[in-house]
A = this chain, B = another copy of it.
């Protein structure tokens, strides 16, 4: 099988990571590579690690350049995906790495992003209960945000098993690549090395409603989510600590069992052995999620920790995983569970 794939936004981090993964995918032929202001440049000048594609010239992101592919990945600033997606027919699978089609609630979209809500597509987190079936054969898929992916996977087993109150606190430390490749002073190396900072505190980060949506869906009733993102000095990786009050009588053993059971058949989610805590280095470049859970008896709270590579399972890896599902390929094709460490 040879699937012809285009990547819009190929000069950015999401697009570059999609390409890195597709270069190792046995069933894919890489077609058009498009960009905005970088159109006309050699890919090698912008993504020097993608040597096999170094001499490809970026073309402009238009319906015309993207049409005629079996799959189109969109790595575009939010608000730009809808027009393109509508113009591409259903013969093309469109996988949006951006935020445009993630939220089902127009009011939440309006509050956190502004502008008109484009609608919602099947949500590309196959590990959510029942979600995988919605992705098989889908023609449009919204890839989850990086923080929502790791936060959701960290706590859903506890919600589904009925172990905790629907009152979740997330503090997640992210590397800088999640902020993209646009040059902003506060993202300069000189500013981020040797530095940890908080931002979007008080529930203002745009990924907040997406986490709420996921947890509410898994719980079957509203879940309150307090979300605090941190920026820490590394390029890739997110580590999320996710906490919720334990219901009466729930034990550490029950908590652990719920996680082991929830992820027993998941190819990419690995519940660590007792006593071993996740580290981002273990999943760099891979589609793996490492999870651990503990019970803090002194405050009767469940504390789960999960890590992902924000660009891989947090964006581009999930996108490829979803493509595999959409096309009926083996879900793990072209994806690794082994991180680059040290």
Interface residues of A (CB under 8 A from B): 13, 16, 20, 23-24, 42, 44-45, 47-52, 54, 167, 169, 171, 173, 175-177, 179, 181-185, 187-199, 201-203, 208, 224-226, 228, 230, 232-237, 239, 241, 243, 270, 272-273, 276-286, 288, 290, 292, 294-299, 301, 303, 305, 307, 311, 336-342
Contact = CB atoms under 8 A, between A and B. Distances in A.
A183 B185 contact: yes
A298 B187 contact: no
A276 B45 contact: yes
27 contacts: A16-B341, A20-B338, A47-B341, A49-B282, A49-B283, A49-B286, A167-B299, A169-B301, A177-B342, A179-B190, A182-B185, A187-B188, A190-B342, A193-B193, A195-B234, A196-B234, A197-B280, A198-B241, A198-B277, A225-B299, A226-B243, A226-B299, A228-B243, A232-B232, A233-B233, A236-B342, A285-B285
A122 to B, nearest CB: 26
Most buried by B among A171, A228, A337: A171
B234 A280 contact: no
A202 B303 contact: yes
Q: What is the total number of copies of this protein in its complex?
A: 4
A210 to B, nearest CB: 14
A235 B194 contact: yes
A276 to B, nearest CB: 7
A20 B340 contact: yes
B224 A305 contact: no
Contact of A296 (B52, B202, B270, B305): B202
